[in-house]
Amino acid sequence: MYKTIKELPMSKEKTNEGLFGAAKKFSDAFFDGLKSNAINRALKQAEKNKKVPPPIIQKMRQIDKLAKELEDDLKHYS
């Protein structure tokens, strides 16, 4: 009555690639979050520290902004 569809066996390589790809994306996001939090913490500590001159804090913010722009451009063009 019903026609059965033969299931095509997935190769182990494709399955492993999928698992490794998902794990890599997760770990990349995790470490990017850690890096982002560390940068934010360093900026906040520098702002609180009276020994750090305001021009240095401004440069730190500019560098962070440029790094984010570069990362976005690299993602866009790759």
Whole-number pLDDT of residue 53: 94
Please identify which residue in the block is written with the tokens 């033969």.
Answer: 6
Query: Containing domain of residue 31, as a range?
Result: 12-77
Higher model confidence: residue 16 or residue 58? 58
DSSP letter for each residue of 2-40: PPPPPPPPPPHHHHHHHHHHHHHHHHHHHHHHHHHHHHH
14-18 average pLDDT score: 63
Full-model pTM: 0.60
Higher model confidence: residue 63 or residue 23? 63
Higher model confidence: residue 14 or residue 40? 40
Number of domains in the chain: 1
List of residues 6+ apart from 46 with CB closer than 8 A: 52, 56, 57, 60
Instruction: List pLDDT tens digits, range 17-61.
Output: 677 777 888 888 888 888 889 989 999 999 999 999 999 999 999
**Is 68 within the bounds of a domain?**
yes
**Is 26 within the bounds of a domain?**
yes
- 49: DSSP letter: -
